[in-house]
Amino acid sequence: GEDEFGDVGSEGAVEELECTCDVGGGSAFGTRGLVAMVSCPKTMNTHCKKCRQHNTHKVSQYKAGQASLVAQGKRRYDRKQRGFGGQTKPIFHKKAKVTKKTTLRLTCGECKSVWQRCIGRTKSFTLGTAAGKTNKGEALQY
């Protein structure tokens, strides 16, 4: 049957795709499809905005930093939580997504400038190895 986008096909189909060094800004992965397994090289040749040319970039996976205790929203929340009255703001429980969007952190080899590139949702993500292949004794990376 047709889905909400007017496409005809199986719903929830998962495709396997091996990422090579030509990872685009999300276009290589489609705008809607979930990719089962992605492996990216530790270095890739891509355009640097600061150098205005293609250079070798070091690739790492983006990870959010620790939340600050002095941010305005946190201070406001802590102030509201003080005293009697229990929980004052709603706590989100209805989690719908099973994956998070993977973001690559690209560091230019020449000028050391850092860029971020989102590659979308993936079930598993590895850096530096071929998709589906793990070396003996190597820990899985997500």
Cβ neighbors of 48 (< 8 A, separation 6 or more) are 54, 55, 57, 108, 110, 111, 113, 115
The 3-state DSSP class for residue 84 equals coil
Taking 70 as the threshold, does the pLDDT of residue 80 lie above it?
A: yes
The 3-state DSSP class for residue 13 equals coil
At 83-100, the pLDDT tens digits run 999 999 999 999 999 999
Please give the mean pLDDT across all residues of the chain.
Answer: 79
At 88-140, the pLDDT tens digits run 999 999 999 999 999 999 999 999 999 999 999 999 999 987 545 556 656 65
How far apart CA 90 and CA 77 sit, in angstroms, is 11
| Residue 35 confidence (pLDDT) | 78
The 3-state DSSP class for residue 104 equals strand
How far apart CA 133 and CA 74 sit, in angstroms, is 43
